[in-house]
Amino acid sequence: MPDPFLRKLEAYAPLRIESRREIEKLTSRIEHLGTHADISYEDEEFRTVAVLLSGWASLYKLLPDGRRQITALLLPGDLCDPNVLLPAATNPCVSALTPVTLAKLSVAAIRAMAASSPDLAEALHWQAMVALNIQREWTVSLGRRSAAERIAHLLCEVWTRLDMVGLANVSDCGLPLTQGDLADAMGSSTVHVNRVLRDLRVDGLAEVHGRRLVILDRQRLANLAMFDPAYLHRHKDNP
Amino acid sequence: MPDPFLRKLEAYAPLRIESRREIEKLTSRIEHLGTHADISYEDEEFRTVAVLLSGWASLYKLLPDGRRQITALLLPGDLCDPNVLLPAATNPCVSALTPVTLAKLSVAAIRAMAASSPDLAEALHWQAMVALNIQREWTVSLGRRSAAERIAHLLCEVWTRLDMVGLANVSDCGLPLTQGDLADAMGSSTVHVNRVLRDLRVDGLAEVHGRRLVILDRQRLANLAMFDPAYLHRHKDNP
DNA sequence: CGATAGGTTGAGTCGCATCAACCGGGGTGG
DNA sequence: CCACCCCGGTTGATGCGACTCAACCTATCG
């Protein structure tokens, strides 16, 4: 299996062959879940972390009065745990946006590996920092970008992240989000997302049909979004 | 010196005495900077990380057209580096909101320590996860809370974080931010921040005079903000 | 074939930005 | 020592972006 987790860890720097082996061994406990299923990160016997092998998931928070905010999109290769390794906090939940397959890793095993393989520890740290950078960029989007800029930025981000794990084509990629999901992620309303997507389409920047995103003019899309992929720390290939 | 960095690391779990010693040794290289100074995280000889010992700083990003978003507030005890240990990304900068004193740690030294002291590694990981949780909570605020709820939430967050490093009184604490800074952090305008603060004052929830925050009615403030301190992982004392 | 989830479009409203003016205080230079 | 200035705060008037409500359309599925 061309494990997207490995692929992601290696987007920063290649791992030693032994480290790859270890990871491959650990990602053998597989689980399948359907759309809208909640991904529990408290497991029976051991404290585990789930790695998304395929499908998309979202991390969200519900406010007491029912408002919902998606705080992160989890793509293949991402870790699903909101507080990796720590005693769980409260409310924030992870749920599958599509059917997903997960690998469950024991936290103890991961930490043992990290302790003995510095390259792995570095790769794990790297992915956590990328997650933090993404979160900060969302802060910028929600705080200072207009709805159109924000959505354009998200499209750029998603395409780039998928590309980093080998799941994007030159000008299109999957985007299995409903307009409602997009709205909950970008802090706007379904109706407005719809109108923004229409505008992007008629302006020839990007199209979102069904479950796919087609980028029509990358340059202008990135310009509108003020998108600079540096924060994702992509260290291979082209923009 | 009652080092706020140690204090913060130990908010999760106490460190072994040797680990504390090591940290104390490392935090000896001190630097002072004035308000508005930029905190460089690329040092001459070694890759370093700065720890805030006193004063406040902000992490911000400037958009090409001049809009500014503060993505994080750095309080005493916090690490100042946006991508701890990684090759620097671009744009996001750290600048002092007040005069600050910093301790510069060599990244290599920290990592060596972490490798040999699991309790320290855990504490460092913990603080990174708390930073991520804070960032996610900002995402919720900016995406789904009204300006008043958002600002109330920030006030609760700041008081709690200061309390965790011993810098808050029961019902007040420092808040050396201008209304403009607050606006840039909360994605609104100076004028609106001003009006919201007035409302909070006349409603008897909180007052922001000069450089201090006085909490008049914690319960109602937290209610308005829908603030639940669990995400900060405060493991000691009371709420 | 009805039901339901997602998408699309229009009309009316509101939160908040923007513009503009004014105030108060602490620092500075003449 | 005083006048000035500039920064931060305060308040009012106006306009726009985006939300809400509501209707309708389309595709998929049991």
Nearest CA in chain A to B121: A115
Cβ burial, residue A61 (10 Å; 0-12/13-18/19+): buried
Q: How far is CA A229 from CA A23, A32, A33, A123, B42, in A?
A: 27, 32, 31, 19, 21
Lowest mean pLDDT across A216-220, B6-10, B195-199: B6-10
Residue A198, phi-psi category: left (phi > 0), alpha (psi -120 to 50), beta (remainder): alpha
| Residue B237 pLDDT | 45
- Checking each nucleotide's C1' against the CA of A208, the nearest proves to be C7
Please say if the pLDDT value at position A124 is more than 50: yes
Q: Which residue blocks in A3-85 are alpha helix, DSSP H? A: 4-9, 17-26
CB A123 within 8 A of CB A9: yes
Neighbour tally for B102: CB within 10 Å? 23
Nearest beta carbon to residue A143 from set B91, B92, B187: B187
Please say if the pLDDT value at position A86 is more than 60: no
**Is any atom of strand C within 7 angstroms of residue A98's beta carbon?**
no
| CA-to-C1' span, A186 to D27 (A) | 26
Nearest beta carbon to residue A139 from set B69, B90, B144: B69
Please say if the pLDDT value at position A106 is more than 90: no
**Is any atom of strand C within 7 angstroms of residue A197's beta carbon?**
yes
Higher pLDDT, A93 or A222: A222
- The amino acid that residue A203 corresponds to is D
Please say if the pLDDT value at position A90 is more than 80: no
- State the average pLDDT over residues A200-224: 96
Q: Which of residues 67-126 of B touch A (CB under 8 A)?
A: 67-69, 71-72, 82-87, 89-92, 115, 118, 121, 125-126
pLDDT band at B82; cut points 50, 70, 90: low
* Local structure of residue B117 (DSSP, 8 states): -
- Reported as type and span, the H/E element at residue A190 is helix A190-202
| Residue B239 pLDDT | 36
| Residue B238 pLDDT | 39
Three-state DSSP state, A157: helix
Q: Is B2 on the interface with A (CB under 8 A)?
A: no
**Is any atom of strand C within 7 angstroms of residue A191's beta carbon?**
yes
- Give residue-wise pLDDT tens across range A23-72: 888 777 888 999 998 887 665 567 788 899 999 999 999 999 999 999 99
Nearest CA in chain A to B147: A143
- State the average pLDDT over residues B45-70: 90
| Residue B188 pLDDT | 98
- Give residue-wise pLDDT tens across range A15-37: 999 989 888 887 778 889 999 98
| Residue A23 pLDDT | 86
**Is any atom of strand D within 7 angstroms of residue B195's beta carbon?**
yes
- Checking each nucleotide's C1' against the CA of B178, the nearest proves to be D8
Shortest distance, CA B236 to any CA of chain A (angstroms):
14
Q: How far is CA B7 from CA A87, A104, B53, B116, B166, in A?
A: 20, 34, 11, 21, 8
The DSSP-derived string for A133-151 is HHHHHHHHHHHHS-HHHHH
A114 vs A121: CA distance, rounded Å: 4
Nearest beta carbon to residue A135 from set B91, B135, B228: B135
| Residue A239 pLDDT | 37
Shortest distance, CA B125 to any CA of chain A (angstroms):
9
B238 vs B220: CA distance, rounded Å: 17
Q: Of residues 134 to 163 in chain A, which lie within 7 A of strand D by their beta carbon? A: 146-148
- Give residue-wise pLDDT tens across range B91-134: 568 999 999 999 988 888 888 888 888 888 888 888 888 999 99
pLDDT band at B48; cut points 50, 70, 90: confident
Q: Do B230 and A89 touch (CB under 8 A)?
A: yes
Nearest beta carbon to residue B89 from set A85, A86, A230: A230
